[in-house]
Amino acid sequence: MARVAIVTGGTRGIGKAVSLALQERGHTVVANYAGNDEKARAFTEETGIAAYKWDVGDHEATLDGCARVSEEVGPIDIVINNAGITRDGVLQRMSFDDWNDVMRINLGGCFNMAKATFAGMRERGWGRIVNIGSINGQAGQYGQVNYAAAKSGIHGFTKALAQEGAKYGVTVNAIAPGYIDTDMVSAVPAPVLEKIVAKIPVGRLGNAYEIARGCAFLCSENAGFVTGSTLSINGGQHMY
């Protein structure tokens, strides 16, 4: 059955791959973005997927944005919380703004999107929320106390909200990607990236579509018995 899906940070990288995967499965997809209007227009022209602009870290803007999507496109039954930023640095050099911006967007965005959509899913008796965590939220990472804390928080958020939604037909799951071949990872200096790849048992970076296929499954009718789960897609780099 076709549903209306929102993918935050949905015009680039993993988000773009998820948007396309859900579109391929017949859903009506809306891609949220925060900054680059030119790239968002190019994305819409290329894919036919509407792009709506707001900052998911802004509570009121998220409520208003989701209300607009519901009115203009239809009730939102699928949410992929993918939007995220990095502000890396060791704690000694990390400013409060570096900490707060990452927490506000990466973790706060999940809360804001859930507040905007969860009640409607519960009333309609069906919903899918997939939160994009990270291997670094599971294992930690030097120079990323903000990012690792936010992503770790996403995993806890997922488990708690899953318990609230289960009896209403709303599943809440997370995906924890490893190192994926995106713009964010390509910005890592080559010598550092080589050391990272050397630690991945499959011997390569992941592909955004490998994450997208995981999202598509968790959003399907076939995943109705999967909730409160974290799917690690990391090439075997972190197992537990």
Span 46-69, average pLDDT: 98
pTM strictly above 0.75 = yes
Catalytic residues: 147
Dump pLDDT digits (tens) for 176-233. 999 998 877 777 788 888 888 999 999 999 999 999 999 999 999 999 999 999 999 9
230 closest CA partner among 179, 178, 165, 169: 178
- The amino acid occupying position 231 is L
Dump pLDDT digits (tens) for 137-152. 888 888 899 999 999 9
Domains of the chain: 4-233 (3.40.50.720)
Per-residue pLDDT at 170: 98
In the chain, % of residues over pLDDT 70: 100
